[in-house]
Structure 1
């Protein structure tokens, strides 16, 4: 619910400078304007906050808290609201864009400069509710216009008597309606007050507050209970069955089972040296499309009956990375996201299964955008997809294409999504040390945490009321792996929490990493060989999407994090002393920052509004951050001090690029055309000697190291335990790597009811129920 201020307004009209604002219609009547300007609800909310503090500086945080409560908006929504206000207030005037009304206070907020006058209620007649006739010699109120002459002439004695009768009748009618509404409100309040209180899961764990019954019931249940990995769940349209990929024993086999926790059955046997993934049910529930990947890099999309049988080929997709597809609403074709390889194409396309003909969807997209996981809404009128899922968001547009709008905020690591009816979506995203599920209402934009830990890859039954997801709760530990003898790996600072992103300092003596070992996700520091030195950096909320970066003197690290409102930022930390400060980098959404060749130079990856993610070179000399160069579409950056070159990956394609320290376009070079892949864009590191290493998974080796700077045979560092994909580091002497390995891992398929959108009450009395002292649920 949107709340601006609890204080009552004097009236619904106010004057700001020479402009009149009518609040019920959200209209701004500016002098000289041809017609009133209509404001959005958010813009009028911003105007009210500025008006109440006229002449004072209102910070961006105050505006976000009052106009966008319980949401995580980006800075650009506030900028758009202020821009609309300026245009409306200056319409027909001589000053451009209302600068004489609203002043921007750099890096702080805004200030309303024009005087504010509220129209007082005393100017309304208590008898009739109409403006009174001003006295002949008295001044005319600026808020109330004088009565027209024609109306005075018409008020003859007989007509005045009729008007008095109808006014009394109208007052009595309004009084009766008011009493009826009051009675109905009191009745509803009484019924709600005396209705049975719904017992919560926590209440059900005890017996009348005197005895223990058991653990609180979870909002979900797990329907698979086996060692291994159940991935890519897909619910049948009626919600009775779930298809998923069983990735046990190094393979991947498609299975189907009831959502009532019955034993699963194999849908189709994959041939040797092949794995099957990405099951998708047809709208009628009779067929399942899936992808088959071969060890030689080829793949094909197949369609099989829901009860098994022979599969038929829909298309080939050799070399396709990040393959994604789903059914069209009529069940006659498949819709594909952006595809790579010789059979791929940028953007979203439809494939007609009967003819094999491809049709490219005509819609707005940037040159470097990679659109993934397209899905039609249940009514078939909308099409949603994730754009650049490594650091992206969910977008929605009309099923026929055209303009798309972003419906989730922030540049985050997306972990699947699905439709919750036609007006809401559910999506998974990485946050801190886990992935969580969130619900977004498309109309209001409100975000809700579904309260499910360690959840990703949601799937919703099109005709049912069930939500399936992957439940994964791994434990990762820190390890030092000698490159000459990987079997002698050593675990560092063992704990029962989740440790990740171990970054060794250039002096080879200090280590920083992210961990949940204290119960809260935090940045930790220690000296190697001194376990007692281990401590967290208090008060800092790091972000796990990018690794910390050490300064050349091993004194400070740059860390991506967020403040108490969830806004992203870059923090410079002195970890040994536990001190930190937020850097005033002039980027609305900074995602990563690393030190450059000099103490005043920084390389920053970030996003402005809904624009592309870019890599920028900043100079902060003298406290003024100046952008010197920019590269669009970068996803991860590292600086090689030995060769004085910048290394970076891109969102739109796999591979690794280099540039000189000035980011000169003429210096761009492709170092690797295939790896790092898009999904493992953070699993590479640069050593002090210029060594560029990449960790990936191969058959028979969970952690294989590959040199990207030299033509050298890969080396297996760990045969069984998988490595984390969000960062590792190389020792200064190049003899070892510091990496997070899975100590315990596995996944199950979870099932829960689809969260129902809470309907708005018809009468305002419901919002006062919490104040009555009795819970309403």
Structure 2
């Protein structure tokens, strides 16, 4: 009996040491899920410490099962939070695991697999796909691509001209995008340089497979920065006329062009409809200071009839690329921190509170939020070689931020007996 008790005591110490080892390994990971797992295992350890006889009463077999489960839980947490380099599926050739590239104090972030150089990604209505413009290794031009959010499916839907901004229609069957495909005779211009925007940029719609391409605008001016209202009634875009940038809207068939803003002292762009399909959020800068590298930039809202122009940010900094959250109260945007560090923030329109979401020294910008409020997509150079400005697509898990659309219960109607 004494030998049996001694053996059990030795096994007790063995289990104790195993738990301590697991907890220590999780602490090194410094990830949210690992911290939660460590707290869970620590509670087991504390329970054993509080009642050392529990193991004897329960039997070594029961404790062994608990330890096995704890080790499995730890392994899962390690797999979920450790940096994973992409691996290639031998059949498809697609990278099938996430490459996690989160910085300290960031929510989980991973790179969209199988996409090289790419910018400005926006979610499909079902939150399962992204549309963006990308440059392949074999091409000098950017073209519109659609990819599943896991990167398994990536397809190019246009290969003519030079493309830029794009967006899904709410029916999930059609898209709208900007391209120079019909104006290749005009100067190429620079999508990112004020005063040199491509004047051959026009708007087009197409099916999601790239078929049935239809041209919406025909004016050999800069028509770009395009999006669609949630109800699908309007296509919203920026037009440059004689050096002035204003917001316009047009029907999906190209009819009823309407100028939204008329501001000779401001340059507007990067506009998106809020969930109400009436309010527009956008960025603007002073026309007089547009060639000043340190010019400020602010975010505004306006009704799509041009009324109720409201300034949302006013801190003297560069605030741009706003994108509304499904709840209609928050929006993601990019802010330039001194000297030239672009980071992504979330802002509450009602309270004015700003929450920083990225902390990388690399460029982080062009955020968009999935319709289900669970993911944020953005363009970043955080995976590029040192000194490179190469941008690609990243995803962030923002499910903990609570910006999903608020479900409104249908009113209960009392039925009267007749």
Q: What band does the TM-score fall into relative to the shorter chain?
A: 0.5 to 0.7
Q: Does residue 1:437 correspond to 2:393, yes or no? A: yes
Match of 1:267 among 216, 221, 226: 216
* Structure 1 or 2: more strand by fraction: 1
> What do residues 122-175 of structure 1 show as CA deviations (whole Å, max 9, x unaligned)?
86444469xxxxxxxxxxxxxxxxxxxxxxxxxxxxxxxxxxxxxx9xx79xx9
Aligned 1:361-760 pairs, distance under 5 A: 361=312, 367-388=315-336, 391-414=341-364, 416-420=366-370, 421-430=372-381, 431-432=384-385, 433=388, 434-442=390-398
Report the alpha carbon displacement of residue 239 of structure 1 after superposing the two structures with TM: 2.4
Instruction: Check whether the contact 2:334–2:365 (CA below 8 A) recurs between aligned residues.
Output: no
Residue 409 of structure 2: aligned partner? none
Residue 91 of structure 2: aligned partner? 204
Q: 1:358 to 1:319 in 2, by over 3 A?
A: closer
Match of 1:300 among 242, 246, 258: 246
SS at match of 1:388: strand
Q: 1:181 to 1:234 in 2, by over 3 A?
A: same
Match of 1:231 among 123, 147, 164: 164
Whole-Å Cα distance in 1 between the matches of residues 227 and 177 of structure 2?
9
Whole-Å Cα distance in 1 between the matches of residues 272 and 155 of structure 2?
26
Report the alpha carbon displacement of residue 312 of structure 1 after superposing the two structures with TM: 1.0
Report the alpha carbon displacement of residue 256 of structure 1 after superposing the two structures with TM: 0.7
Q: Does residue 1:337 correspond to 2:283, yes or no? A: yes
Match of 1:328 among 274, 293, 300: 274
Q: 1:409 to 1:444 in 2, by over 3 A?
A: farther
SS at match of 1:378: coil
Residue 280 of structure 1: aligned partner? 227
Instruction: Check whether the contact 2:373–2:399 (CA below 8 A) recurs between aligned residues.
Output: no
Residue 350 of structure 1: aligned partner? 301
Report the alpha carbon displacement of residue 319 of structure 1 after superposing the two structures with TM: 6.3
Instruction: Check whether the contact 2:245–2:268 (CA below 8 A) recurs between aligned residues.
Output: no
Whole-Å Cα distance in 2 between the matches of residues 426 and 240 of structure 1?
21
Q: 1:120 to 1:330 in 2, by over 3 A?
A: closer
Residue 80 of structure 2: aligned partner? none
Q: 1:203 to 1:310 in 2, by over 3 A?
A: same
Instruction: Check whether the contact 2:166–2:177 (CA below 8 A) recurs between aligned residues.
Output: yes
Residue 238 of structure 2: aligned partner? 291
SS at match of 1:8: helix
Q: Does residue 1:253 correspond to 2:202, yes or no? A: yes
Q: 1:293 to 1:121 in 2, by over 3 A?
A: closer
Report the alpha carbon displacement of residue 415 of structure 1 after superposing the two structures with TM: 5.3
Whole-Å Cα distance in 1 between the matches of residues 289 and 21 of structure 2?
66
Whole-Å Cα distance in 2 between the matches of residues 120 and 281 of structure 1?
56
Residue 141 of structure 2: aligned partner? none
SS at match of 2:29: helix
Instruction: Check whether the contact 2:297–2:320 (CA below 8 A) recurs between aligned residues.
Output: no
Instruction: Check whether the contact 2:164–2:178 (CA below 8 A) recurs between aligned residues.
Output: yes
Residue 651 of structure 1: aligned partner? none
Higher relative contact order (CA 8 A, sep 6+): 2
Report the alpha carbon displacement of residue 229 of structure 1 after superposing the two structures with TM: 0.4
Instruction: Check whether the contact 1:425–1:439 (CA below 8 A) recurs between aligned residues.
Output: yes
Instruction: Check whether the contact 1:300–1:318 (CA below 8 A) recurs between aligned residues.
Output: no
Whole-Å Cα distance in 2 between the matches of residues 281 and 123 of structure 1?
61
Give the number of equivalent residue pairs.
272
Instruction: Report the RMSD for the aligned CA atoms in angstroms.
Output: 4.5
Q: 1:242 to 1:343 in 2, by over 3 A?
A: farther
Whole-Å Cα distance in 1 between the matches of residues 277 and 46 of structure 2?
62
Extract unaligned runs of 5+ from structure 2: 1-16, 34-44, 73-86, 94-150, 187-199, 291-295, 406-418
> What do residues 653-711 of structure 1 show as CA deviations (whole Å, max 9, x unaligned)?
xxxxxxxxxxxxxxxxxxxxxxxxxxxxxxxxxxxxxxxxxxxxxxxxxxxxxxxxxxx
Instruction: Check whether the contact 1:282–1:327 (CA below 8 A) recurs between aligned residues.
Output: yes
Match of 1:240 among 173, 182, 196: 173
Report the alpha carbon displacement of residue 349 of structure 1 after superposing the two structures with TM: 1.8
Whole-Å Cα distance in 1 between the matches of residues 47 and 258 of structure 2?
75
Instruction: Check whether the contact 1:281–1:287 (CA below 8 A) recurs between aligned residues.
Output: yes
Extract unaligned runs of 5+ from structure 1: 1-5, 13-44, 50-64, 71-118, 130-167, 187-199, 207-216, 446-461, 463-777
Aligned 1:82-121 pairs, distance under 5 A: none
* Structure 1 or 2: more helix by fraction: 2
> What do residues 350-378 of structure 1 show as CA deviations (whole Å, max 9, x unaligned)?
112346121233x6x6x331111111112
Q: 1:320 to 1:128 in 2, by over 3 A?
A: same
Residue 103 of structure 2: aligned partner? none
Whole-Å Cα distance in 2 between the matches of residues 318 and 442 of structure 1?
38
> What do residues 309-334 of structure 1 show as CA deviations (whole Å, max 9, x unaligned)?
12011112446557322112101121
Residue 99 of structure 2: aligned partner? none
Whole-Å Cα distance in 2 between the matches of residues 321 and 287 of structure 1?
21
Instruction: Check whether the contact 2:238–2:270 (CA below 8 A) recurs between aligned residues.
Output: no
Q: 1:11 to 1:384 in 2, by over 3 A?
A: closer
SS at match of 1:224: coil
Instruction: Check whether the contact 2:319–2:335 (CA below 8 A) recurs between aligned residues.
Output: yes
